[in-house]
């Protein structure tokens, strides 16, 4: 499924911050419609003013098959991570946030997909901490839902949230 346009609401006071994040930090192209409009592939992303808090900012970055190291070298994937994740980690918008870097395939079928590497990075994570218990993508979703006090979606009800790593 593809969307021609996605509109998200944000408090008016945060629109300039969002513009700096999407255009400055992530490097998305502004469309000809002015501030608050961005091109994401073939989709136009638009922010409009809406009253009130809380405002939860979530961005999902997914590399293509070359940059995710399926079709190209690890060095290519490392360069993509350096170009996209490092600016996020230095962004003031991340001061109360976290960046998850999650791979989608293990090297075996153990537990339904093998051991998959996942990193939690940012100012809310204790340096050197490890979450040693098994979890999965539903556990990651539940971690985000718990942090924002959101209702559980689908199988996230059964997911084990990531813990013991937070400041």
pLDDT digits (tens, 9 = 90+) for 54-89: 666 677 778 888 988 889 999 999 999 998 888 888
Confidence label for 31 from pLDDT (cuts 50, 70 and 90): confident
- 37 pLDDT higher than 70: yes
Number of C-beta neighbours around residue 94 at 10 A: 19
Confidence label for 103 from pLDDT (cuts 50, 70 and 90): confident
The pLDDT tens digits of the residues spanning 112-155 come to: 667 778 899 999 999 999 998 888 889 999 999 998 888 898 99
* Mean pLDDT computed over 93-113: 79
Instruction: Name the average pLDDT for the chain.
Output: 83
* Mean pLDDT computed over 2-30: 78
d(CA 45, CA 38): 5
* Mean pLDDT computed over 32-37: 72
Cβ–Cβ < 8 Å for 145, 151: yes
d(CA 58, CA 18): 11
The answer to whether the pTM exceeds 0.75 is: no
For residue 45, give the nearest of 12, 21, 80 by alpha carbon: 21
């Amino acid at each position: 499924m593809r969307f021609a346009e996605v509109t998200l609401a944000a408090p008016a006071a945060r629109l300039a911050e969002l513009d700096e994040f999407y255009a400055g930090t992530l490097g998305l192209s502004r469309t000809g419609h002015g501030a608050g409009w961005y091109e994401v592939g073939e989709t136009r992303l638009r922010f409009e003013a809406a009253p009130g808090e809380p405002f939860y900012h979530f961005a999902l970055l997914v590399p293509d098959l070359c940059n995710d190291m399926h079709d190209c070298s690890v060095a290519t994937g490392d360069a993509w991570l350096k170009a996209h994740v490092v600016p996020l980690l230095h962004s003031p918008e991340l001061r109360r946030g976290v960046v998850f870097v999650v791979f989608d395939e293990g090297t075996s079928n153990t537990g339904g997909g093998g051991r998959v590497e996942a990193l939690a990075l940012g100012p809310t994570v204790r340096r050197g901490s490890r979450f040693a218990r098994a979890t999965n993508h539903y556990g990651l979703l539940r971690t985000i839902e718990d942090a924002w006090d959101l209702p559980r979606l689908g199988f996230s009800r059964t997911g084990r949230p990531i813990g013991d790593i937070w400041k």
